[in-house]
Amino acid sequence: MVAPQLGLADFFALTRSLGLSGVEIRNDVAGNAILDGTPASTVKSLAAQNDVSIISINALQKFNHWSAERADEAQILADYAAACGSKALVLVAANDGTGLEPDVRVSNATEALTLLAPILRQRGLVGLVECLGFEVCSLRSKREAVAAINAADAGDVFKLIHDTFHHHLAGEEDIFPDLTGLIHISGVDDPTISVRDMRDSHRVLVGPKDRLGNLEQITALYAGGYSGLLSFEPFAEELRTLSDPAAAIRKSMDFVTNGLAARAA
C-alpha cells in the first residue's frame, strides 16, 4: 500500500532500491496482482529476479465468519500464496458490525482457525491473525485472538499481526510480543480527528507528527522479545499520487530507525 499505483515489477524494483528485500502483496488492489489475474508463477519469477521475498499475501477477509464460500476462498488464496513463494497469509477479522456479541467473538474465531489450520499446514504457510481496532470489528482484541488460537490448538500455524493503528484504536494494553509474527506500521498526522473517528483514509507513512505512538509500540514489542519485520500499511489516497514514492518511504524509514536507535541509546 506504500505504492499501490505500481505494477509488481516496478514495486519489487522500488523495494530493492530502498535496500529492502521483503514485501507484502495484496489481493485487493484494482488493476494489480492478484486481482488482475497475474499467475502465481509470474509473481514468484518477478520476486526472484529482484531478489525479493514475499512475506505475505494480504488478505483473507472476514476469516472468522466461516462458510463454504470462505473455505473455498481460503483454499484458493492459500494455493496462490504457496505457489508464489509467500511465507504467510494474513487473516482479517470481519469489520461490518456483525458477530459482535461477547459470547460468539472467540467461538467464531476458534471455529475458523480450527478449519483453516490444516489448509495452511498442508501448504507450509503461517496464518497472521489481524484484529481491527474499529468498534464494529468482530475481533477487536488481540487477547480474544490468542484465546481462539489456543482453543483451536493451533499455535504452530498462527501468529498475531500487531498493527500500530489498530492497537491504538482498540485501546488494548497487552501486546503479546512472543506471539507476534509481523508488525504493521502507519501513522495518523491529522490533529483534528478524534481517535474514535480515525479511518484507513487517515493512515499515512510514519513521521514526526504521528499521533499513534508508533515508536513507543515498536520499542515495547522488541523489548518484549519480538525480532521480526516491520511492514508499512498506510492507506491514504495521497500515496497513490506521490511523485517520488522512494523518497517518501526512505524518509519514513529513517524517522523510524533513527527514533528507535535514540530510544535504545
Full 3-state SS string of the chain = CCCCCCCHHHHHHHHHHCCCCEEEEECCCCCCCCCCCCCHHHHHHHHHHCCCEEEEEEEEECCCCCCHHHHHHHHHHHHHHHHHCCCEEEEECCCCCCCCCHHHHHHHHHHHHHHHHHHHHHCCCEEEEECCCCCCCCCCCHHHHHHHHHHCCCCCCEEEEEEHHHHHHHCCCCCCHHHEEEEEECECCCCCCCHHHCCHHHCECCCCCCCCCHHHHHHHHHHCCCCCCEEECCCCHHHHHCCCHHHHHHHHHHHHHHHHHHHHC
Q: Which CATH architecture is the domain 8-264 placed in?
A: Alpha-Beta Barrel (3.20)
For residue 31, the model assigns a pLDDT of 83
pLDDT over 70, % of the chain:
100
For residue 30, the model assigns a pLDDT of 84
For residue 265, the model assigns a pLDDT of 86
For residue 32, the model assigns a pLDDT of 86
> pLDDT tens across 148-205, in order?
999 999 999 999 999 999 999 999 999 999 999 999 999 999 999 999 999 999 999 9
Average pLDDT, the chain: 96
For residue 172, the model assigns a pLDDT of 94
For residue 132, the model assigns a pLDDT of 97
Q: Quick check: 149 and 113 in contact, CB under 8 A?
A: yes
For residue 184, the model assigns a pLDDT of 98
Q: What is the mean pLDDT of residues 236-249?
A: 94
For residue 105, the model assigns a pLDDT of 96
> pLDDT tens across 62-77, in order?
999 999 999 999 999 9
Q: What is the mean pLDDT of residues 46-51?
A: 96
For residue 73, the model assigns a pLDDT of 97
C-alpha cell at 127: 496464518
- β-partners of residue 161 are 182
CA distance 98 to 106: 13
> pLDDT tens across 6-42, in order?
999 999 999 999 999 999 999 998 888 898 999 999 9
> pLDDT tens across 108-149, in order?
999 999 999 999 999 999 999 999 999 999 999 999 999 999
